[in-house]
Amino acid sequence: MAAALLPALLLAVAAGAPLGGALGRQMFRELGVPASGAVFGVAAGIALMFALVVVAGGATALAVAKLVGAYRSSRCSTTVK
């Protein structure tokens, strides 16, 4: 799961910031708020993308750990007696 932190940070900054900024500007414009929503959108986009990638990395790590555990237990139970 720790291996997912660097890709999560890179994807959050490279993809989450522009998408969140554009979405924040659009939402604030639709709501009629005079302030720019880009700052809020960038922060929300980075946080959401970071969280999604870390959760996906954790789920992948859990699946690999279960697969390795199942493989090891199957190898130990088939020893010659």
Stated pTM of the model = 0.78
For 11-68, the pLDDT digits (tens) are: 999 999 999 999 999 999 999 888 888 999 999 999 999 999 999 999 999 999 999 9
Identify the band that residue 76 occupies on the pLDDT scale cut at 50, 70 and 90: confident
Query: In Å, how far are 65, 66, 67 from 50, measured between CA atoms?
Result: 22, 24, 26
Contact 50, 7 (CB under 8 A): no
